[in-house]
Amino acid sequence: MKLLKYILTGLFLTALGEISAQNFMDQNQPMVDFKRLHFGYLVGLNSQDLHFSHTGIDQNGNKIYAEIPSYSPGFTVGLVGDLALTQYFNLRSVPSLHFGSKDLVYNNQSGVTLGKESIKSNYLMLPLELKYSSLRLNNSRPYLMFGGAAAYDLASKKDPEDLIRLKKLNYFLEIGIGCDLYFEYFKLNPELKLCIGLNNVLDKDRPELYDDAGKPLQNLQYTNALSKVTSNMIVLSFFFE
């Protein structure tokens, strides 16, 4: 009986090993995740938004509210450098450019539109991200990512006709999900990421909005109606590694 038990156990382990080996052989690029460092590039789409904290009252005592009534898709392109820390954790650097715009509308308390403005933002972003991946299942491997980024707005400019002006430097907290898809010659990673602005980007230093006598001009009401503005962005990226 013991001999039969040993034989059956041996056959089971042999069969299990053959199945595991066969699954390994069916995988595309089975050794790619064992590389310590690898590089790639990304393309994608983004949607930019602004979050407003209102004072509610301008210098004339009028209530003015700002909003982004609709969203326009933007374009994203960048590079990626990936450093494997452990079997499940990777550290990524993803320098990227995000081209987009936001349509800003100011209304009073009666819903009457007082002003409109299209704000272009071309962010040069330098993120540092931590990627946590699950076990690989055949040719797919879901993951979560978390990180932070510094961004510089290349499109920001000083124009006295602007209703509001945004600062060039911005900081984001990043949270996202994605999945590594393994193909014969490359790895594709679709990823959806939320970028949450951390700092106040409203520029209240607007000396051009005062006349020579120091009296505020009409456009200053739009800046004074806000106490804080933060940037947010959703990014759908496709990594090729």
pLDDT band per the 50, 70, 90 thresholds, residue 11: very low
As a whole number of angstroms, the distance between CA 82 and CA 77 comes to 17
Predicted local distance difference test score (pLDDT) of residue 59: 55
- What is the reported pTM? 0.82
Predicted local distance difference test score (pLDDT) of residue 170: 95
CATH 2.40.70.10 fits 31-240, yes or no: no
What are the pLDDT digits (tens) for 52-69? 988 866 556 668 888 888
Of the candidates 96, 104, 111, the one whose C-alpha atom is nearest the C-alpha of residue 149 is 96
pLDDT band per the 50, 70, 90 thresholds, residue 12: very low
Other C-beta atoms lying within 10 Å of the C-beta of residue 22: 9
Q: In terms of pLDDT, which residue wins out, 232 or 59?
A: 232
Residue that has been written with the tokens 């060039």 in this structure: 168
